[in-house]
Structure 1
Amino acid sequence: MEKIYVVYWSLSGNTLAMAEAVGQGIKEAGMEAEVVDVSSASLEELKKAKAFALGCPSMGVEVLEESEMEPFVCDVEAFAAGKTIALFGSYGWGDGQWMREWVDRMGAVGASVLNGEGLICQETPDASVLAQCSELGSQLAKA
């Protein structure tokens, strides 16, 4: 069974909850999911994968977390061409600019962002958002 990785960075637990729901959707679609914090993620495994998910909240002035996630995403950009990537994350303020920029970055290096946009929520994901995350995982499993 092919494993689909869900790599995330979370400070408050909001993006972690989203990542777990994406992983659950992958499993419900009949695939194996590996939900892993970015600090423990393997770039080599992602290089071999045809599809994976990345999650990060908005930080500061609507940017990716800068010490772990941003360097990881920079590394992913080197091999993202031809991959299907689901993007997700939470934010506390702003309008989602960080996610639009992240989607554009992945597209610019030849990745296909699932649904053409990232899945975002403000603050703590509620049941509706978690259901959307699960559906995102299911779609990723079928990509």
Structure 2
Amino acid sequence: MIHVVFFSQTGNTEEMAKAVTEGIQAAGGEAKMVSVSDISAADLAGDAVYALGCPAMGDEVLDEGEMEPFVEDLLGSVSGKKIGLFGSYDWGDGQWMRDWEARMTGAGAVMVAPPVICNNTPDEEGLANCKALGEALAKA
């Protein structure tokens, strides 16, 4: 089972999470999409592969209420894990995602594909990239 854990405020990142989940399933994998508020870092400790999604918030940072504490708790157990990152943004140039990817790889995580970012509502290309990320997770 591959968990697709996400935080979404406006629904854009949730839409991306659905596409990642569809990609996993299309590639023959089992997926479970779950809001970050409904899972703990300990729940993922035994998973070898998973996806994390969060939009850019404030000054291009992760959501500080739920996702940031979750990621902080997760950092101690990501070494050797194969993960995918995704999220949406409204301003800036995606720095939050570059920072997030650097944190995860710095802690030893292995990216299965480049992170997927979409400006506001994901378009067809963005959703296709999310599905491709899901397929890469299923094959990891």
Same-fold call, TM cutoff 0.5 = yes
SS of the counterpart of 2:100?
A: helix
Identity %: 54
- Residue 71 of structure 1 is matched in structure 2 by 69
- Residue 125 of structure 2 is matched in structure 1 by 128
Whether contact under 8 Å (2:40, 2:70) holds in the other structure is no
SS of the counterpart of 2:31?
A: strand
Match of 1:109 among 103, 107, 112: 107
CA distance in 2, matches of 1:41, 1:11: 17
SS of the counterpart of 2:45?
A: helix
The TM-score normalised by the length of structure 1 is 0.95
CA distance in 1, matches of 2:9, 2:66: 12
1:87-102 matches, within 5 Å, as 87-102=85-100
CA distance in 2, matches of 1:64, 1:10: 11
SS of the counterpart of 1:48?
A: coil
1:1-143 matches, within 5 Å, as 3-115=1-113, 117-143=114-140
Report Cα offsets for 1:42-91 as digits up to 9, x if no partner.
Answer: 42331111110000000000000001000000011010000011000000
Which letter does structure 1 place at the counterpart of 2:53?
G
What residue ranges of structure 1 are gaps of 5+ in the alignment?
Answer: none
What residue ranges of structure 2 are gaps of 5+ in the alignment?
Answer: none
RMSD of Structure 2 on Structure 1 (CA): 0.8
The TM-score normalised by the length of structure 2 is 0.97
Paired residues, what number? Answer: 140
Report Cα offsets for 1:94-124 as digits up to 9, x if no partner.
Answer: 0000000000000111001222x31101010
Which 4+ runs in 1 deviate beyond 4 A?
A: none
